[in-house]
Amino acid sequence: MWESICLTIAATAGNNIGKVLQKKGTLILPPLSFKLKVIRAYASNRAWIIGFLMDIFGAVLMLLALSQAPVSIVQPVSGCGLAILSVFSHFYLKEIMNAIDWIAIAFAGIGTIGVGAGGEEQKASSISIFHLPWLAFIVAFLFVVLNGWLRVYRRQRREQELMQYEVVEEIIYGLESGILFGIASVISKMGFVFLEQGFSKLLLPICISISICCSASGFVYQTSGLKHGRAIVVSTCAAVASIVTGVLAGMFALGERLPSAPVARLMLLLGWLFIILGVILLVTSTRLLRHLPRPWRRFARSGVDRNFGLRQPGSIRTRDTNPSAVIQTSTLHQLISTPSKAKA
């Protein structure tokens, strides 16, 4: 189990850090196209190439983790990618982190330990063919309801001549993208389970291809929400929905179960809770800091700013309020591409 968790952590670190390095490389590059001159420019950019390779390597490690562990273990742990990205940004990109950020990282770390200690080795799950249509129906029904809700609010916004997005629209886009990211992990795991149970080997690449399509659709929904909505709301809903969807769909479609021992079950549930709390705190830390009492706010900032100032005098930068997530796996790395549009 711990081997799979380490693979997941390495995978989500590669995905998130790779996206940051790609973004750093594209600052001096033209928009990506199929022109030979543009392709050569990207291929000769060291930061972009390293980031691209790390992203691909992370995706391969994630598939390896899914082949060895239940989705209900892999998907929550992948939410720690934002914590890893925050540490990387602090030490490599010299971005400032406040006390809430460090608390959130500690929560994510404690949650990961809880998931590893509470998770139990499971044999190959028995996929019920009758559960798969029900899973597809539930996901389709959720999207029909969410899109219908979205249309209602859009119509109301046009009638009232409002320009800004309503918070409900931001939540809907975040939920839709998170559901697709979670389902993508479940479908990938499904391919490995089919392979273990002796089904045709063609089912594995088919499942992985469907998983890629689900992830791509999730990025489309997330980008739509980030284009005009607030990154804090969209990314938080996407991260939490991704974890919850992966866990519930894995239990329903793949027969994954909670540990039988009460202590192990409690540790696993607490691990999920701590990881979700850590992700929410990381995404909303800047806004939460503004609402703290003034003495607490000064304390949360002073230690980090002082230590950072000793290292980087005269070049202090504020922390980006739109960190990359994943993740899928918490899904948040698209935030890097739209920092100017966040209204947090």
Contact 315, 167 (CB under 8 A): no
Q: What's the confidence (pLDDT) of residue 209?
A: 92
Q: What's the confidence (pLDDT) of residue 122?
A: 52
What percentage of the chain carries pLDDT values higher than 70?
Answer: 78
- Give the mean model confidence (pLDDT) for residues 179-199: 86
Cα distance between residue 61 and residue 75, in whole Å: 13
Q: What's the confidence (pLDDT) of residue 74?
A: 84
**What does the pLDDT look like over 134-164, one tens digit per residue?**
888 988 999 999 888 888 877 877 777 665 5
- For 122, the 3-state DSSP assignment is coil
- Give the mean model confidence (pLDDT) for residues 212-217: 88
Contact 316, 309 (CB under 8 A): yes
Residue 126, sorted as left (phi over 0), alpha (psi -120 to 50) or beta, turns out to be beta
**What does the pLDDT look like over 75-108, one tens digit per residue?**
888 877 777 877 877 777 777 777 888 888 888 8
**What does the pLDDT look like over 28-86, one tens digit per residue?**
877 767 788 888 888 888 888 898 888 888 888 888 888 888 887 888 888 777 778 77
Q: How many residues does the chain have?
A: 344
For residues 293 and 326, which has the higher predicted lDDT (pLDDT)? 293
212-216, 275-279, 301-305 — most confident range: 212-216
- For 195, the 3-state DSSP assignment is helix
CA-based torsion, 178, 84, 118, 255: positive or negative: positive
- pTM of the predicted model, to two decimals? 0.69
Q: What's the confidence (pLDDT) of residue 263?
A: 84
- Give the mean model confidence (pLDDT) for residues 304-308: 44
Q: What's the confidence (pLDDT) of residue 336?
A: 42
Q: What's the confidence (pLDDT) of residue 114?
A: 80
286 pLDDT higher than 70: yes
Cα distance between residue 208 and residue 67, in whole Å: 12
Q: What's the confidence (pLDDT) of residue 231?
A: 65
Angle at 123 between CA 121 and CA 129, to 5 degrees: 135
Token pair listed for 266: 């409690």
**What does the pLDDT look like over 106-137, one tens digit per residue?**
888 888 888 877 766 555 456 767 778 888 89
Q: What's the confidence (pLDDT) of residue 120?
A: 62
328 pLDDT higher than 50: no
- For 34, the 3-state DSSP assignment is coil
Q: What's the confidence (pLDDT) of residue 28?
A: 80
> pLDDT averaged over the chain?
75
Q: What's the confidence (pLDDT) of residue 298?
A: 66
Q: What's the confidence (pLDDT) of residue 55?
A: 83
For residues 123 and 319, which has the higher predicted lDDT (pLDDT)? 123
Phi, psi of 328, rounded to the nearest 5 degrees: -5, -120
Q: What's the confidence (pLDDT) of residue 216?
A: 85
